[in-house]
Structure 1
């Protein structure tokens, strides 16, 4: 009987230890919600916005504002995307780069329509004016562009079942930007990341780096537009803050803080190509900027997409490189 009692006690304590260990693990799991929960089931694809929907798995039709003529006309979605790809990227580039641009252009368009109906001021879902929506150039649609769009027909990038904000730009320089630093966007979406971009391997040397010079009155006017305050005669102009990618997020003009993304647009985004400033000086009545990159730097770098396509990456791989934890799904046939 004595031996049996010892055995029972031992079994009891072993069982208690096992239960305690399980409870500890459960507690750790709750305290560490970032722990890998294992494979995650794909999210269901998002719905096609009701205002452009034509039926289950059917290609939508857009009302597109044609800025050149002032008319609005219906256009099949994929026809519109062909014009966007031809307008936004060199039609002679590699097929997979063009295909990646098609996926992102679809995602951008659908997200904008879902968010605010497209362009309510034009009573349209999209516009051919690059300042309002995306570039569009039907005259530049080539067989290569058509094939790139056709092979990705209906494919979009989604995150947690929602269309992504399909931001893209010409050239990131060595790395891309977060949305809050590159665009002044209030909250950075989780799928927007800073990644090294290989566009520098293929961009012509005459395109980058760049230099731009503006007289002090031009700078003052741009500060007034972007900061909403007249700084007075510019006596001091300097970089006040940079973001994690190295881009300037704030300048200081005298005692006025100036948001860099808005300041760049006010000065002229084709002259001041980027906020990735490597050197700046005030000299001879001018502010001279020297930098790298072209565009806001957020999302897909087009020159980087070209470089990756030439390295053999697929359109889907390119998209997933520039946007974190996204899925590429087909939402119409």
Structure 2
């Protein structure tokens, strides 16, 4: 009787454990996260060479190496270059899936920065090749979909949301970490720590007309109308017309108005004078921040996840 009781007790315990396990596995949080389509081998993509009009086939990893070499200084630490490789590969796959260049040239990608991303195979070094190899096939996803793999040269010490830095609201981007402080100003170049630019008012007036379709007339005053959480100028008032900060930067030239992280804006004579810090939109990974973290021993994946939250880094192929 004692043995039979123990047997019954054991069966009950096993039954309860099975029920609990089943309940846990059915909970949404316990379900396996969705993942992107994987490939049996490294994909080959079609590339439109804008400089010559040539269309050619190229292995994805070779293409990524050319992008990393163009987008980041090849002499930088391998892990910084490797973080850039993960984002370049993600950007490539997300854009191929959207078919943006396919509509223009009938290819997966192009060598134009305006159409796709920078590409310069002449700058590829052993350092770049190593960075691409250690992250071979790795992409960043959120809920099984490729993220918008944004990055900028220097976020001025604090990152931005897509809405604030790019005025991007087309799709939700909850994976972008905003207001992250990365101490990049401690190692970046002097012109990124603080810059001043003087733009002729005639050029500013033409930019405002292009953006809004309104003529601001003779611009005698300028002010930041609204700042975002990271301190970036979301809107700027020029004369009697208000324009978006990101839109003004694009219209004036992204290397003229280096960022929207403005400290001061004013009209002086026949010029608009702006003082600010950083270089780029500040959304996603900061390259100088990646450089600093790589020097501190952070892995490529840790660097990426410093700037992107609740994401997975998936390996697409062997």
Q: TM-score, normalised by structure 2?
A: 0.87
1:291 to 231, 256, 276: 276
Does residue 262 of structure 1 match 2:212? no
User: 1:326 offset after TM fit, Å?
Assistant: 0.7
For residue 179 of structure 1, what is the aligned residue in structure 2?
Answer: 162
Which residue of the partner structure matches residue 150 of structure 1?
133
Given that 1:278 and 1:290 are in contact with CA atoms closer than 8 Å, whether structure 2 keeps it comes out as: yes
When structure 1 is superposed on structure 2, of 242-251 and 220-229 the one drifting more is 220-229
Give 1:206 deviation, angstroms. 4.2
Q: 1:292 to 1:138 in 2, by over 3 A?
A: same
1:184-199, aligned counterparts within 5 Å?
Answer: 184-186=167-169, 187-194=171-178, 195-199=180-184
Kindly state the Cα deviation for residue 135 of structure 1 after the two structures are TM-superposed: 0.8
Instruction: State the partner residue of 1:133.
Output: 116
Question: Runs of 5+ in structure 1 lacking a partner?
Answer: 1-36, 49-55
1:162 shift after superposition? 0.6
1:224-303 aligned at under 5 Å gives the runs 224-303=209-288
Runs of 4+ with >6 A deviation: none
**1:40 to partner: Cα distance:** 4.8
Secondary structure at the aligned position of 1:174 is classed as: coil
Deviations 1:117-174 (A, max 9, x none): 5442122211111121111110000001001101111000111111110011100001
Q: Distance in 1 between matches of 2:109 and 2:123?
A: 19
- Cα distance in 1, alignment partners of residues 235 and 275 from structure 2: 16
Aligned to 2:14: none
Q: CA deviation at 1:199?
A: 1.4
**Native 8 Å contact 1:179 1:188 kept in 2:** no
Distance 1:61 1:141 in 2: 19
What are the Cα deviations for residues 7-45 of structure 1, in whole angstroms up to 9, with x where unaligned? xxxxxxxxxxxxxxxxxxxxxxxxxxxxxx896555232
Change (3 A) 1:41 1:306: farther
1:1-333 equivalent positions in 2, closer than 5 A:
40-47=30-37, 56-186=39-169, 187-194=171-178, 195-333=180-318
Work out the number of aligned pairs and report it. 290
User: 1:237 Cα deviation (Å)?
Assistant: 2.1
Deviation digits for residues 244-278 of structure 1 (CA, Å, limit 9, x no counterpart): 11100111122222011111011111111000001
Residue 222 of structure 1, CA deviation: 1.0
* Partners of 1:313 and 1:322 in 2: CA distance: 13
- 1:19 aligned residue: none
- Structure 2: distance between partners of 1:117 and 1:58: 24
TM-score when normalising by structure 1: 0.83
Larger radius of gyration: 1
Tell me, what secondary structure is at the counterpart of 1:45? coil
Q: How much does 1:207 deviate?
A: 4.0
The Cα shift of 1:230 comes to: 2.1
Q: Is the 8 A contact 2:192 2:278 kept in 1?
A: no
Show structure 2 runs of 5+ residues with no match: 1-26
Q: Partner residue of 2:6?
A: none
Cα-Cα RMSD: 1.6
Partner SS for 1:74: strand
The alpha-carbon distance between structure 1 residues 170 and 119, as it changes in their structure 2 partners (threshold 3 A), is farther
